[in-house]
Homo-oligomer: A and B are copies of this chain.
Amino acid sequence: MSGTHGSVVRVGVIGCGYWGPNLIRNFARHDGARVTAVCDADVERADKMAGWYSVPLITSDPAELIESKSVDLVVVATPSRTHYALAKQAILAGKHVLVMKPMTTQVDHAKELVDLAARQGVMLAVDHTFVYSGAVRKMRELVVSGELGDVYYVDSVRINLGIFQSDVNVIWDLAAHDVSILDYILGGIEPTDVTAVSAAHAGSWAENIAYLTMRFPPDVLAHVHVNWLAPAKIRRTIIGGSRRMAVYDDIHPSEKLLVYDRGVSIAPWSDPEDVYTALVSYRSGDMSAPNLDAREALAVEVDHLLDCIATGIAPIADGHSGLRTVRILEAANISSGSRQPPRTSWDGDAEKSDLVPIPIDTLAG
C-alpha cells in the first residue's frame, strides 16, 4: 500500500486529453493534494499541463509515472480500452487508483481489478462524476428517506451531438453515466436482466444510439436512452415513485431537480369480473425544487477521495460500483448484438441471441 507523503496526497495523472485537465486542475487546487506527475502520448499536451500546474515529472511512458516514488494516487484518464492494463499495473505497484468510467470494457477485467485492489490494500475508485453532484445526491436522499415511496421506474435520457469516441460505442461512453447513477440511487442492487437495442449510423463501426432496459428487484423498470447523434442536448432522469416523482434535468441552469407531489391510486375492484370499474384517484399537488449543493461535482469527488485515502474508507464510487456498472454495460452490449467488446469474457453467441434479455448472473464477474 502506498503511504501518503505527510498529509498531502501526491497525484500522477495519465492522459491529458479532454477530461484529464479537469482532474489535474481539481487535484492541483486542493490543499490536500499535489500533482507530481503527468503523462500523455502527446508530449506537448503533458508539457502544457506541467507548465500550467508546475508539475515536476513529465513523461510519455505510463510505467514511469506508475513506478515513480513521488506518486501515491494514479489517475487513469486514458481511452477506455486501456483502463484495465494501466489500473492493474498501478494497483500492483501499490498505488491508489482513480479510473475514468467505464472502469474497464470487460467484466472479467473489472472483477480482477477489484480483487487485486483488495489484496493490495489500495483504494480503487471510479470517476462516476455525476454521483457526486448535488442533484444526484439529493435523488439518493429522496429514495433512501422514502419520500418518493416505492420506486416504480427510472427513465434516463442522455443525448447530444456528441463526440464519437474512437474506441468504444455510445453504451460504454454515455450509458456508463446513467447506469452508475442508477447504481447509486438504487443502492447498489443489481438488475435481474438487461436488454438493449442499438444502431450504428453515419458510416461508423460504433453504435451511436442505444436503448437499454433493466429490471431491478423488487419491481423497478429502468430504461436508458443514449445517443451521440441527436440535434439537441437532453440529460434528464425521471424517477416515478408511489408517493412522489422527481425529474432531474442536468441542463437547467438553476433548478436541476424538481419533485412532484403527484400520483395515482387505484382501488382494487370488488368484482373481479368487471375490471373496467376500477376506481382511479389522481393526486396533483405542489411541485418543488429543493435547494442543491452547487459545488462542482468533480471538486466534491476529489475532496471525498482524498478523505477516503486518509481514513481508509471505501469511496462512494468504488471498484464494486465500477464492476456492477461494467456488468450491466457488457450485458447491454451483448444483448444488442454489438461487436463490442471483444468477446473474450463471454461464451454465448450474441449474434443468434440478440434482443434476448441477458440474465445478469450469467456474466463472468
A residues near B (Cβ < 8 Å) are 28-29, 52-54, 152-153, 155, 157, 159, 161, 164, 166-167, 195, 197, 199, 201-205, 208-209, 211, 213, 219, 221, 223, 225, 227-233, 238, 240, 242, 245-247, 251, 253-255, 258, 260, 262-268, 275-278, 280, 282, 284-291, 355-357
**With A153-B199, A166-B278, A240-B201 in contact, is A225–B227 under 8 Å at CB?**
no
For the complex, what is the distance from the CA of A209 to the CA of B203, rounded to whole Å? 34
Tell me which residues across on chain B come within 8 A of A287, comparing CB atoms: 231, 255, 288-289
The distance from the CB of A196 to the nearest CB of chain B, in whole angstroms, is 10
For the complex, what is the distance from the CA of A201 to the CA of B211, rounded to whole Å? 22
The distance from the CB of A76 to the nearest CB of chain B, in whole angstroms, is 18
Question: Mind listing 13 A-B residue pairs with CB under 8 Å?
Answer: A54-B54, A155-B225, A161-B263, A161-B284, A164-B266, A166-B277, A197-B213, A202-B265, A202-B266, A225-B225, A230-B240, A231-B247, A232-B238
Candidates B203, B213, B228, B278; contact of A265 at CB < 8 Å: B203
Tell me which residues across on chain B come within 8 A of A258, comparing CB atoms: 231-232
Contact A152 B223 (CB under 8 A): no
Contact A278 B204 (CB under 8 A): yes
Contact A202 B264 (CB under 8 A): yes
Contact A355 B153 (CB under 8 A): no
Candidates B155, B221, B227, B290; contact of A155 at CB < 8 Å: B227
Contact B223 A231 (CB under 8 A): no
Tell me which residues across on chain B come within 8 A of A266, comparing CB atoms: 164, 202-204
Contact B223 A275 (CB under 8 A): no
Tell me which residues across on chain B come within 8 A of A289, comparing CB atoms: 286-288
For the complex, what is the distance from the CA of A199 to the CA of B159, rounded to whole Å? 24
Tell me which residues across on chain B come within 8 A of A164, comparing CB atoms: 264, 266, 278, 280
Tell me which residues across on chain B come within 8 A of A208, comparing CB atoms: 264
For the complex, what is the distance from the CA of A208 to the CA of B213, rounded to whole Å? 16
Minimum-distance CB pairs A-B, first 10: A231-B260, A231-B245, A288-B288, A287-B289, A203-B266, A152-B201, A199-B221, A166-B276, A164-B280, A202-B264
**With A240-B231, A357-B355 in contact, is A219–B195 under 8 Å at CB?**
no
Contact A242 B199 (CB under 8 A): no
**With A211-B211, A245-B230 in contact, is A286–B288 under 8 Å at CB?**
yes
Contact B282 A161 (CB under 8 A): yes
Q: Which residue of B lies closest to A229 (CB)?
A: B240
The distance from the CB of A317 to the nearest CB of chain B, in whole angstroms, is 26
Contact B52 A262 (CB under 8 A): no
Tell me which residues across on chain B come within 8 A of A157, comparing CB atoms: 157
Contact B221 A209 (CB under 8 A): yes
Candidates B29, B153, B227, B356; contact of A209 at CB < 8 Å: B153
Contact A223 B211 (CB under 8 A): yes
For the complex, what is the distance from the CA of A93 to the CA of B85, rounded to whole Å? 59
Contact A291 B280 (CB under 8 A): no
Tell me which residues across on chain B come within 8 A of A155, comparing CB atoms: 225, 227, 230
Contact A231 B246 (CB under 8 A): yes
**With A253-B251, A286-B289, A355-B355 in contact, is A219–B199 under 8 Å at CB?**
yes
